[in-house]
């Protein structure tokens, strides 16, 4: 093969979209991205509509699109419960990797994305800073099944694997509401339209705890490094490399939007935003915003979870720094940059 050819599964999510842009339009890779939707932006990458739950359709699609040198697996599917979530996400990974391997005699590496739930961040307080070899928590947890299958399947193969564990990935992606920066931006736009201060909507305890996020652009750069420069067969935490407290950051976000931060007031965003669809339609019309449906613009339940983490959420980035990826992003600057980008792209006023 004359150059690297990346297969990106989940090519329009907040991870995949930014990874595709970085690899195809900045790093000069050949990129084939998989998504059930078509891209809404210009890119040199090729997008294929593939249902990864369908093994035969996946194999047929990738047979014609390959061969690939690298697979980046960022696809995700909700399940009706945790067991169903394990089943569907494991099947999708198996279908994607086996089909890519069959089409790619020169396959070099498969990269799998996980997150801080690996350490039990979704269950409550956990030992911090979390290290890659920390004990697992009680399953079911689809990360474990995916990682174990990939480790076993890659054994003895000419290609190897790398696992990346970002946390709370923030970036630009339309129609993918699992994006904390977008939750904050849309919540702020609604508060401002109603003449309300930008009150922190979570718990008072969370307001003072240490938190971390991962800039999607940082993750894209780290992914390119992990594909070609990282020692294989292991996992790496990949965050911005810093930590912050909402009590400081929230005031800076409010100031950037010319809003009064007010005093924190714990509310359920899921409940309070349930009736705001008509208001969002009026805001879009009033300010000429992009026509993103209200149910696709922000994941309020995700915001409720993050803003009520009454414990520090910190992952150690020592391993990835020692391995050679030492880039650090200022998370406060990242949030302000993304809010401005959302304005420029007419997602918020």
81 and 180 share one domain: no
- Residue 198 shares a structural domain with residue 223: no
**pLDDT more than 90, % of the chain:** 95
Q: Determine the pLDDT at residue 178.
A: 83
Q: Are residues 178 and 311 in the same domain?
A: yes
* Residue 290, domain member (yes or no): yes
- Is 115's pLDDT higher than 90? yes
Q: DSSP 3-state assignment of 7?
A: strand
Which pLDDT score, from 0 to 100, does residue 41 have? 85
Residue 345: C-alpha distances to residues 83, 172, 224, 289, 292 (Å): 38, 10, 26, 8, 12
Task: For residue 158, give its domain range.
Answer: 5-166+215-237
User: What sign results for the dihedral spanned by CA atoms 297, 39, 87, 129?
Assistant: negative
Q: Is the pLDDT of residue 1 over 70?
A: no
Instruction: State pTM to two decimals.
Output: 0.96
Q: Do 254 and 337 sit in the same domain of this protein? A: yes
Confidence band, pLDDT 50/70/90 cuts, at residue 2: low
| Confidence bin at 75 (pLDDT 50/70/90) | very high
Note whether residue 66 is domain-resident. Answer: yes
The answer on pLDDT for 96 being more than 70 is: yes
One domain, residues 58 and 185: no
pLDDT in tens, 146-177: 999 999 999 999 999 999 999 999 999 887 87
Structure tokens at 263: 């005093």
Residues 10 and 115 in one domain: yes
Domains contained in the chain, number: 2
Residues 205 and 192 in one domain: yes
Whether 55 and 194 share a structural domain: no
């Amino acid at each position: 093969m004359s150059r690297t050819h990346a297969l990106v599964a989940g090519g329009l999510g907040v991870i995949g979209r930014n990874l595709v842009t970085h690899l195809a339009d900045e790093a000069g890779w050949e990129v084939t991205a998989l998504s059930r939707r078509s891209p809404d932006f210009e890119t040199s990458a090729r997008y294929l509509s593939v249902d990864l739950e369908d093994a035969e359709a996946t194999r047929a699609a990738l047979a014609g699109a390959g061969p690939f040198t690298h697979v980046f697996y960022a696809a995700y599917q909700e399940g009706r419960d945790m067991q169903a979530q394990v089943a569907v996400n494991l099947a999708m990974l198996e279908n994607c990797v086996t089909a890519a391997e069959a089409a790619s005699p020169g396959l070099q590496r498969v990269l799998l994305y996980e997150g801080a739930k690996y350490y039990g961040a979704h269950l409550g307080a956990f030992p911090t800073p979390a290290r890659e070899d920390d004990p697992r928590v009680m399953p079911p947890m689809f990360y474990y099944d995916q990682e174990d299958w990939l480790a076993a399947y890659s054994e003895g193969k000419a290609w190897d694997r790398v696992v990346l564990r970002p946390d709370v990935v923030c970036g630009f992606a339309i129609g993918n509401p699992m994006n904390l920066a977008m939750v904050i931006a849309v919540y702020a736009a609604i508060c401002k339209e109603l003449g309300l201060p930008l009150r922190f909507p979570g718990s008072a305890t969370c307001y003072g705890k240490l938190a971390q996020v991962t800039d999607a652009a940082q993750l894209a750069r780290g992914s390119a490094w992990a594909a070609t420069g990282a020692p294989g067969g292991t996992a790496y935490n990949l965050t911005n490399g810093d930590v912050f407290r909402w009590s400081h950051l929230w005031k800076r976000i409010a100031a950037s939007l010319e809003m009064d931060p007010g005093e924190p007031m714990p509310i359920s965003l899921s409940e309070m935003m349930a009736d705001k669809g008509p208001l969002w339609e009026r805001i879009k019309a009033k300010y000429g915003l992009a026509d993103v449906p209200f149910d696709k613009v922000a994941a309020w339940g995700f915001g409720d979870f993050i803003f009520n983490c009454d414990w520090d959420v910190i992952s150690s980035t020592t391993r990835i720094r020692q391995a050679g990826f030492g880039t650090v992003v200022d998370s406060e600057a990242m949030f302000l940059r993304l809010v401005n980008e959302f304005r420029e792209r007419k997602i918020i006023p």
